[in-house]
Amino acid sequence: MRLNTFFQESRIRILVFILISVCLIIFAMISKMMVFMTPVIILGFLVLSERMMKNHKMFFIFLIFYGLFSKIIFYISGGIKFNPIFIIPALYMIIYIDEIIRELIAMKIKVRTGIMIYVGIALIFTIFVNLKYITTQMISFNIMILPIFLALFIKKAEDIKEVIIKTAPIVLIYAVLQYMGLFTIFDSCWIKANSLITYDSLYIGGNIRPFSTFASIEEFGYFLMMILVLPFIFKDKRLIVLSVISFILLFIFSFRLPLMIFIVFLFYFGLKKKMYKLVVIILLILILLTVILNIIPFKEDIHTKEKGINVFVRHTLEPFRNVFRSYSLERRVKDIRTNINNFKSFPYGMGLNHNPRNLPHNRNIYHSESAFVMMMLSCGITMLIFMIIILILISRKLLIKKINSDLIFLFLSVCFLLFSHVLSFHFITPIFYYAIIRNFNGK
């Protein structure tokens, strides 16, 4: 019976894949944009890999290289505005929709209800708010909602570890080459065409900060941070080596927020494990570093065209020098005040909105590097109440439950929700949704 069910599911998936492929080929021929045949090739490879490996690891490997594929297509197409790589995750979800439905049915009612409430709120405010920019709204919907369903393809934390271990060497080497100025023609074309000097902190001084195979600087930073955390979950010598390299790159490339989250994680881990000496040592190191940097001569100017590793290092150490006067902190405080005023003006939400600097119309409606704030402003008081309830429930689990791999990922997911946006993330976001779902589902 199970064998027949397997073959029936396989036939349905193949038929769906064929239907999608035919539609894409017809569209490519009519529009004379042959790059829209690219998803057919990639989807075919991913579906074949899933059938052979009996898991979705290859799909998540693809998400790590999402940015690289996008830049290649951007170069080949001569700068296409709507990159066909963007639709691949959604099409992959459609092909395996039966598996997603089964996972949802198997969940506890309260978890399934929570997911449906969240999706429902986002859907309502995507369609009915600010209809003038419905295309932008739907793109944002795919980015903010789709990862919830993609998270259901992750069955256990070990899958995340295996994917990262397999891809990390390539990702790290590629980033080092970018730091050395050896950008591929695809990367160079993308940087030049998009003029991303103010987007995603691509430039520090006169240096271009490496983004490796990812679609954004931020996601690469979080990828490095996750490698740092994995040795606390799994005993694997390869992870120790990768974590040392990742820490060096986080510091050199000046990924300050991921570094801060890692330090906060160390405090949390030490307190949960009752390793109070570790907590005290980290605290003393931070205090000592702050004191030293405020005593010795220190060139503070980081807004310069100067090149070299010293600019990156100055940018990394700047918060220790200025503490509460850091330009980054001052900007965030200013953004909080602006967003509070925006929320007062639009208490019922302004609709989901993708990063205005990456989409037409330059609709700079709000400034925030927090997914929580963006969802609150997008969907108003309804989403605010929902998210506060979820954060309270998560906090309770973080305080009460015994620390394990799922709880560590849950802790990181809260940091991710509060301190980072999800707009240019593809691999990281499903992992954190997985952590939230798994912890509440009690598996």
Domain boundaries, the chain: 96-441
CA 416 to chain centre: 8
- Cα–Cα distance measured from residue 79 to residue 186, given in angstroms and rounded to the nearest whole number: 11
φ/ψ of residue 82, rounded to 5: -105, 105
Q: What is the pLDDT of residue 185?
A: 85
Structure tokens at 161: 């570890």
Q: What is the pLDDT of residue 264?
A: 92
- Cα–Cα distance measured from residue 398 to residue 102, given in angstroms and rounded to the nearest whole number: 28
Cα angle for residues 103, 108, 114 (degrees, 5° grid): 90
Q: How do the pLDDT tens digits run along the chain, 443 residues long?
A: 454 554 466 788 889 999 999 999 998 898 888 888 899 999 999 999 998 888 999 999 999 999 999 999 988 888 777 788 888 999 999 999 999 999 999 999 999 999 999 988 888 776 666 555 656 666 766 777 889 999 999 988 899 999 999 999 999 999 999 888 788 888 888 777 765 444 446 777 667 788 889 988 888 999 999 999 999 999 888 999 999 999 999 988 888 889 999 999 999 999 999 898 989 999 999 888 888 877 876 665 556 666 667 777 777 777 777 665 666 666 777 777 777 777 777 787 776 654 444 333 334 444 567 788 878 877 888 888 999 999 999 999 999 888 888 889 999 988 888 887 766 788 998 998 999 999 888 75
What is the pTM for the complete model shown? 0.88
Strand runs labelled E in 88-247: 203-204, 207-208
Q: Please list, in sequence order, all residues whose beta carbon lies within 8 angstroms of the beta carbon of residue 157, skipping any fewer than 6 positions away.
A: 233, 405, 406, 409
Number of residues assigned to the chain: 443
- Cα–Cα distance measured from residue 95 to residue 15, given in angstroms and rounded to the nearest whole number: 9
Q: H helices within 32-156, ranges in order?
A: 38-53, 57-64, 66-76, 88-95, 97-106, 109-127, 134-150
Q: What is the DSSP letter of 85?
A: G
Q: What is the pLDDT of residue 134?
A: 58
